[in-house]
Amino acid sequence: NYYDKNLHKRFSTPELHAELVRDKGNYYECLVNIDGMYNGYDIDDTYRSIVRLSKKAKVHWDEKNGKGEKLVSLNDYMKRHSNVRMIDPKVDKNGYIISFSDANAS
């Protein structure tokens, strides 16, 4: 099964938007659109791929309540958001996403 392990190959700060999320046991398999920034510039080079998102992933998230960004579990994040947006994801040695930011979430 193919999945993308090199999410920074086109963008220095990739942003992933999940369209389809499937539960695969200890991870989610996600069909994503990937775009982002390269060295501070927004470039229009969106592509689609498949990623694996660990269910143990942590999310840097801002509730916009004046308290700033906090770290929440993926489970808590997904309870509040039907659309998963992953900004600058970090992957483990197997290529599974283990953390990401969605600091602009509302």
pLDDT in tens, 1-54: 789 999 888 888 899 999 889 999 999 999 999 998 877 777 778 899 999 999
Q: Residues 62-76: pLDDT tens digits?
A: 877 788 788 999 999
pTM for this prediction: 0.87
| For residues 67-89, average pLDDT | 89
8 A C-beta contact, residue 102 and residue 53:
no
- Given a cut of 70, whether residue 106 has pLDDT beyond it is no
In the prediction, which pLDDT does 104 show?
A: 60
Average pLDDT over residues 72-83: 88
**What is the pLDDT at residue 15?**
93
Distance CA 13, CA 7 (A): 9
pLDDT of res. 105: 52
